[in-house]
Amino acid sequence: MAQLSRDDIASALRDLPGWRYDQLAIVKEFTFAGFPEAVAFVTRLVPGSEAADHHPDLAVSYRRVTVSFTTHSEGGVTAKDIAGARMADSCA
């Protein structure tokens, strides 16, 4: 899968509110009512990530979850990452 150009990434992110390009990845911070809701969100990410065989980097900090997608084998953002961002938004 080919790495997307910065223009392609910018175009895709216009339809993904809150997502930003940062150092070869796309990143979004999700905020929830509390820790249990944040962990439940992470749990909802698992089936879609497993089905796509494409897993985000996650950081959980109390009620915030930072989700970062990159395709390590391609050295940057690919269509898989854009699809992962859409999936994460649908789980929030």
Q: What is the pLDDT of residue 1?
A: 80
Owner of token pair 């990159």: 70
What's the gap between Cα 44 and its chain centre? 13
pLDDT of residue 58: 98
Residue 70 one-letter amino acid: T
DSSP string, 45-72: HHHHHHHHT---EEEEETTEEEEEE-BG
* pLDDT tens digits along 25-82: 999 999 999 999 999 999 999 999 999 999 999 999 999 999 999 999 999 999 999 9
User: pTM of the predicted model, to two decimals?
Assistant: 0.95
Q: What is the pLDDT of residue 56?
A: 98
Pick the CATH number of 6-91 from 3.30.1360.20, 3.30.565.10, 3.40.50.880, 3.40.50.10470: 3.30.1360.20
pLDDT at res. 61: 97
What are the extents of the domains in the chain? 6-91
Residue 70's CB is within 10 A of a number of other CB atoms, namely 23
